Structure 1
């Protein structure tokens, strides 16, 4: 039976690269995107209008996926934002938006999918986090808080689903050559990690056996002292 993968934020960048790689490897896809009309892909998929700040969006998307495919084997939580929220001038509105999208939405989505992931008996959850969830390098406190929380959520999923064969991994890259990095990265695009690199890491990780589960993968495009 073909495995089913749900991927949020799949219309471009890392999410689209992951969808492309998993399709190449034979997965059936359920893609959550804000604007389905903006998705350009060369593979068949269930495309669902997923607005991360909508508190019911995750549940509706999971229900649509189950109705279409009958099961869920992989959930990739990729949708996220990066806005500058410093301690000096960060606003409640920006912080709330960031936490809504980067923390609360993945929590709700995983919560809705968890019973189905448990039944799969070997399911995988991947959270696209950030090196900003492992260290504090600049003054974007709000983004760093959200990504630290995302990594904590990943470990909570590992604990909750371990006895059912559910494994979870946080992928923590630095700069990736996407629209999100445009304007904030001090590297040339070719020097950054590429979305396709992250996609291969995700695909290889979810295919590891339960006895070789990887909790976190830190991905560098340049040297950093992380310990």
Structure 2
């Protein structure tokens, strides 16, 4: 039977959870899930970090019941490995899950931009929605602000789906792109130019949409989604995926 270590060298669970804020007027489980998910994606909770219910409950001043629910949902996302009667730990970045996420993202988002390019609305409406998002992304890239760039990147893709009349497409991707997001944030340490490259890829996609080139936009989006695979290879070679 596997044994979850009580801690990792240099890892402090309480310190990692110190920024978690719980609104007692709202359901606690979903808040814990969202907070823990982002901490794992940001590697504040690194691979192998033990996630004992009692420790999380104490650090967040909540009961163990919502903690258990949050960990179960994170396990469904592939972010946490749980052993009954033993405990839970942050899962390593899984290549199979990464491949699946990329395949799903490529298919869904490729269709999003293809349909967007074919929609009859004036491009000025599309441009008006995307311009502030792209500006925020460029500013974050210029500052080297990984988290701000990540947030703007998420907003860009969500806005594309909304403009295409498929807002649920981006929501559907939430549960399958967790490992993609972990790689995206980790890889910035090894790929300092990745933010600017991603921004340029976004501009190319928008230009294809502007030109009503649905197939070209879809191909560009597929290539954009696949870049995370090369990033994973770099991380794996550096031993940063375990």
TM-score where L is the length of structure 1: 0.30
Greater Cα radius of gyration, structure 1 or 2: 2
Greater RCO structure (CA 8 Å; 6+ sep): 2
The structure whose residues are more often helix, as a share, is 2
The structure whose residues are more often strand, as a share, is 1
TM-score where L is the length of structure 2: 0.29
